[in-house]
Chains A and B, each alone.
Chain A
Amino acid sequence: MNSRIILSTLCLSLVFGQYDYSLEDLNSSSEYYQQNVGTSFFQGEVTLHYFGHYN
């Protein structure tokens, strides 16, 4: 079981390569709130990533 998880993670890393991350969703209104999201989380979908902040 552990080897399968490691292998799956490795495969996802190879597929998505550089442009991936896994960060906690902090928006309490989001359906993914408190889940770790990123490119591979939405595998098979088109993703838009906006880098910014509000002071």
Chain B
Amino acid sequence: MYENLISNGYDQVKLIGVGKSQHMNNISNWTNGNDTPVCADQSPYPTWNGWGASQRDLFVLDHEGNVVFHENVTSGLPSDLESLVIDLVSQIPGDSECTDGDINNDNPCNPWECWEGQWIEMIIDCPEQMGVPCEDGVYISPAEGECCSICMLLGDLSGDGIVNVLDVVAMVNLVLSGGYDLVADLNSDGTLNVLDVVLLVGIILN
């Protein structure tokens, strides 16, 4: 049964043979053909006595050291012993694969956060993908490391959430430099010129 468990990958199971020192002259009879630990309790055999063990007693302990099975197996192993051991192995807590609070943001649109030692996938719902309209504005592509587009108020070149003379100054500079910004293209004609400046001034004055 033990070899069957090991061959099936249940390596969190250990079998130990406990004999008595007076019988260890023929230990090879016990160890031949196997690599399980074999020990000899020394007289007056405190381990045997402490465990209340008799010849051919088998004890099964869970991962916390609690006895969950104790029988004399002279007449053979119980048929359900292997399933018992497999069930005990399944109760062993898995190794933590991460530290609580860790975040994996390699893919900003599919971040993972560590919770109770396990990586949990986080769901990002971007407003643009959710169909949320960008009132009086336009969705700007996300910056590197970010997932969602940002709704920017048309004309708000400074990004402060309001449209004022600062944005007019920035727009004029942009027009004079021949640059382009989607936020500044108030008439959405694909170019940036005085027409957009006029529209922006009109928004501010109204």
Contact = CB atoms under 8 A, between A and B. Distances in A.
Given A27-B38, A31-B35, A48 B14 contact: yes
Contacts of A50: 15-18, 56-58, 73
A47 B38 contact: no
A49 B92 contact: no
Nearest to B81: A48
B38 A49 contact: no
- Interface SS majority for chain A: loop
B23 to A, nearest CB: 4
A46 B61 CA distance: 6
Find the residue from A17, A38, A39, A46 having the highest chain B CB count within 10 A: A46
A3 interface: no
B27 A54 contact: yes
A54 B30 contact: yes
Interface in A25-41: 25-32, 37-40
Assign chain A's interface to a size class: 35 or more
Interface of B: 2, 12-20, 23-24, 26-27, 29-31, 34-41, 46-48, 50-51, 53-67, 73, 85, 88-89, 92
Interface of A: 15-21, 23-32, 37-40, 42-55
A34 to B, nearest CB: 10
Contacts of A40: 65
A26 B41 contact: no
A45 B92 contact: yes
10 contacts: A21-B18, A21-B41, A23-B18, A25-B38, A27-B37, A38-B16, A46-B89, A49-B58, A49-B59, A50-B18
Minimum-distance CB pairs A-B, first 4: A23-B39, A54-B29, A53-B23, A51-B53
Contact of A55 (B13, B26, B56): B26
Contact of A17 (B38, B47, B62, B65): B65
A26 B40 contact: yes
A11 to B, nearest CB: 12
Contacts of B61: 19, 39, 46-49
B14 A53 contact: no
Contacts of A21: 18, 39, 41, 46-47, 50
A54 B16 CA distance: 15
Nearest to A36: B39
